[in-house]
Amino acid sequence: MNQAIAFYVLSAFILGFAVLVVSTRNTVHAVLYLVLNFLAVAALYVLLTAQFLAVIQVLVYAGGIVVLYLFVVMLVNLKRPPEDHSAPQRHSWIGFGLTGLVLLELAVIIAYGSIAAPGPANAQNTDLAMYNVEKIGMLLYTDYLIPFEVASMLLLVAMVGAIILAKREL
């Protein structure tokens, strides 16, 4: 009961902030709403007993990536006025078309699939919640070692690429 209330409140926040992100005129405000969105998503993760992921979300997403966005916005916005109101009608039919497609797909999945209710909290169920960090660590290092290493390679490449792209002289 408590959990359902918390979930609905958090969902309202998440969706509200998301709508604000895509609809604000001021870019800096949009970035701030994005931060609030990510924090609400992290709270949702805690509700779903994924504590490690919630902290990672705050640390990487809200604390790192959005700071990066804020930096770029400030460096870019220093002399540019906000975007003017040119015609959106050319693109919007693509957007609505894609939306309709996704909704159709979701309807098909709901109709043909079956969504089970969350299982009762027996000894096996609380394992993931209580020892969250240890279990994820075990999974990362045993079953999913290769994707882990590939991801680290990817991050290294991205780091080098970003540095080269942003340097003034090479």
Partner 1 sequence: MLLSTALFIIGVLGVMLRRNIIVIFMSIELILNAVNINLIAFSYQLQNGIGQVFAIFVIAVAAAEAAVGLGIILAFYRNKETINIDEMSVMRW
Partner 2 sequence: MIDTYLIPLLKILFVLNATLVGVTYMVLLERKVIAWVQVRLGPMRVGPYGVLQPIADAVKLILKEDITPTRADKWVFTAAPIIVMVPALITFAVIPFGPVVNLFGRQVPLYITDVNVGLLYIVSVASIGVYGIILGGWASNSKFPLLASLRASAQLISYEVAVTMTLVSMIMTAGTLSMVKIVESQYNAHLWFIFVQPVAFVLFFIGGLAETNRAPFDMAEAEQELTGGFHTEYSGMRFALFFLAEYANMIVVSSVATTLFLGGWLRPFPNIAALSFLGIIPSWMWFLLKTFVFLYIFLWVRATLPRYRYDQLMRLGWKVLIPVAIANVVVTGIVMVLF
* Segment interacting with partner 2 (CB under 8 A) among 2-10, 50-58, 84-92, 153-161: 50-58
Q: What are φ and ψ of residue 79, in 5° steps?
A: -130, 0
| Residue 63 interacts with which of partner 1, partner 2, none, CB < 5 to 8 Å by class | partner 2
109, 102 Cβ separation under 8 angstroms: no
Q: What are φ and ψ of residue 110, in 5° steps?
A: -65, -35
60-67 contact pairs (CB < 8 A, 24+):
62/35, 62/38, 66/31, 66/34, 66/35, 66/38
Q: Is residue 15 a contact point for partner 1 (CB under 8 A)? A: yes
Closest distance between partner 2 and the C-beta of residue 35, in Å?
A: 7
Residue of 1, 2, 86, 123 that binds partner 1 (CB under 8 A): 86
Which residues sit at the interface with partner 2, rule CB under 8 A? 28-29, 32, 35, 39, 51-52, 54-56, 58-59, 62-64, 67, 70-71, 74, 130-133
